[in-house]
Structure 1
Amino acid sequence: MRLFCFPYAGASAVTYQRWRRKVPDWLEIKPVELPGRGSKMLEPLAADWETLSATLIREIASDLSQPYALFGHSLGALVAFEVAHGLQWRGLSLPATLIVSGTHAPSRRDKQRFEQLDSDAELLSEMQRLNGTDAAILANKELMDLTLPVLRADFKLCARYRRQVRPLLPMPLHVFAGSDDETSDDTLRAWQMETTADFSLHYFSGDHFFIQSQEQAVLASLCRHLQPYSAAAQRYAGLYANGLPGVCLGEATIGTS
């Protein structure tokens, strides 16, 4: 079972590298790099959604021959959502499920917030507010000189996002959220409008970056959602009657619906 993971604004694919060491053997974490960062540092930063989605679909198209799913946090959730629609429109193999994390539903987004974030001071203030970056990194001018242009471009991409009218997605859609994040129950439950299949909303203790502070619980919940689609996982379940080894043993959420 493959899980393609899309990073949040300002981040690179390395965000998910550590997950590879923390999940069972039946699950393969596939971090997806966005243009202009990490291994794609020399590529232009994404400026429009259609081009970004098409580029990413071309990159992952050769890896869709076995069961797979899509996951994204914050900006990455929107990217995963658009990739899922792009795959459907092209008639390609669809993900077994879509898991989005830490963001409002497409129909409940406030683009004005991102339009107002442009200067270095505003971007730094937003990074501090979201509490996902170590203070030592924020104080490192060399690192910030590399990070802020990426973050600025990503926020502009968020500001340009518009929900399109198109066929709903036919796969289950699961939403992860932090109990202390700025998202509301209403804006999270609105994700249910985007699928004709099953839907669930899972709350984790923490703020916007609960995927860091509650990493083990997040991974456990991912495993629980993905296990039914993996033949290998079914074999694991037969071998370990008392539960899968490692991260999949525990309950992941403080509330589900």
Structure 2
Amino acid sequence: MAASLNLLCLPCAGASATMYLRWRRQLPQWMHLVPVELPGRGGRLGEPAVEDFAQMVALVCREQRSAIQGRFVLFGHSMGALLAFGMARHLRATGRELPLAVVASGSSAPSRRDPERFARKGDDEALIADLRKQGGTPEDVFASPELMRITLDVLGADYRVCESFAYAAEPPLPMPLHVFAGREDDIAAERMDAWSAETATGFSLDWFDGGHFFIKQHEARVLSALQQRLAWSVAGESHASRAHA
């Protein structure tokens, strides 16, 4: 059995940590799920939202200090993938412990982000249209004015987080990078392949049927692939430790 690790899961734009709670019953015991709740949603609804990428990364690294020690992995879907990448860079820059691996799901590589992705999405009508296009939002949210207001406020703030991200060339990360993508998502394959330039120690790209929310549509397959990829990362870390002993 693989050695235990903390699996920090960062949500997509407009979502809360609850998007990952179902995983707790399906992951093996050696993977300890840590769903990360960001300000302004879920259990932190009363807190002001953060709208700057660098501030959000620094905040999560500070708040999750106890979870990002020892063996841990960063997982993120869509905006969460970008945050996971930013956290890995931030931890390296501040001399902190680094994750065993980063798993980026449903997101273009940081160097290949579409500059038009968040253009003209500053009003409710545009945000609602984007929610419909991406899928993954329950119909009861659209039917409830109160839930819709909360969702749109969080989504707008998160889009501003993504807009504030500016890619800067840095040395590749010194840990494996595993990427998950949906075959029917509207992210071009070359934008997913470009993640390979961000790691110096191992890259994988797994494709799944489904659109942007393939992680919900094909949850069992995604979790099986996640378990396999992380078992390899833990095994690789263990071999490296023995090699340097």
Shared fold (TM-score, shorter chain, > 0.5): yes
Is 1:184 matched up with 2:188? Answer: yes
Structure 1 segments unaligned to the other structure (5+ residues): 235-257
Residue 13 of structure 2 is matched in structure 1 by 9
Q: Kindly provide the CA deviation profile for residues 3-44 of structure 1, in whole angstroms up to 9, marking residues without a partner as x.
A: 100000000011111111111111111011111111222222
Q: Kindly provide the CA deviation profile for residues 145-196 of structure 1, in whole angstroms up to 9, marking residues without a partner as x.
A: 1110110111122122110222221101011000100011100000111111
Structure 1 CA distance for aligned equivalents of residues 68 and 163 of structure 2: 30
Equivalent of 1:58 in 50, 53, 62:
62
Equivalent of 1:221 in 218, 225, 230:
225
Structure 2 CA distance for aligned equivalents of residues 166 and 42 of structure 1: 36
Residues 139-150 of structure 1 aligned to structure 2 (within 5 Å) = 139-150=143-154
Equivalent of 1:42 in 34, 41, 46:
46
Q: Read off the aligned partner of 1:29 and give its amino acid letter.
A: L
Q: Read off the aligned partner of 2:83 and give its amino acid letter.
A: V
Is 1:90 matched up with 2:115? Answer: no
Is 1:161 matched up with 2:165? Answer: yes
Equivalent of 1:99 in 91, 96, 103:
103
Deviation (angstroms), 1:144: 0.2
Q: Alignment length, in residue pairs?
A: 232
- Find the residue that maps to 1:216 and give its secondary structure: helix
Moved more, 150-159 or 208-217: 150-159
Q: Read off the aligned partner of 2:223 and give its amino acid letter.
A: L
Structure 2 CA distance for aligned equivalents of residues 115 and 155 of structure 1: 10
Structure 2 CA distance for aligned equivalents of residues 229 and 166 of structure 1: 23
Structure 1 CA distance for aligned equivalents of residues 90 and 43 of structure 2: 24
Q: Read off the aligned partner of 1:159 and give its amino acid letter.
A: E
Deviation (angstroms), 1:134: 2.1
Q: Read off the aligned partner of 2:205 and give its amino acid letter.
A: L
Q: Read off the aligned partner of 2:32 and give its amino acid letter.
A: E
Residue 75 of structure 2 is matched in structure 1 by 71
Structure 2 CA distance for aligned equivalents of residues 41 and 180 of structure 1: 32
Deviation (angstroms), 1:74: 0.3
Q: Read off the aligned partner of 1:48 and give its amino acid letter.
A: D
Deviation (angstroms), 1:201: 0.7
- Find the residue that maps to 1:71 and give its secondary structure: strand
- Whether contact under 8 Å (1:115, 1:159) holds in the other structure is no
- Find the residue that maps to 1:168 and give its secondary structure: coil
- Whether contact under 8 Å (2:81, 2:105) holds in the other structure is yes
Structure 2 CA distance for aligned equivalents of residues 155 and 53 of structure 1: 15
Q: Read off the aligned partner of 1:15 and give its amino acid letter.
A: M
- Find the residue that maps to 1:169 and give its secondary structure: coil
Structure 1 CA distance for aligned equivalents of residues 175 and 191 of structure 2: 20
Structure-2 change in CA distance of 1:6 and 1:136 (3 Å): same
- Find the residue that maps to 1:112 and give its secondary structure: coil
Q: Read off the aligned partner of 1:12 and give its amino acid letter.
A: S
CA RMSD of aligned residues (A): 1.5
- Whether contact under 8 Å (2:106, 2:212) holds in the other structure is yes
Structure 1 runs of 4+ off > 4 angstroms? none
Deviation (angstroms), 1:229: 4.7
- Whether contact under 8 Å (2:52, 2:160) holds in the other structure is no
Structure 1 CA distance for aligned equivalents of residues 97 and 218 of structure 2: 32
Residue 119 of structure 2 is matched in structure 1 by 115
- Find the residue that maps to 2:118 and give its secondary structure: helix
TM-score by length of 1: 0.87
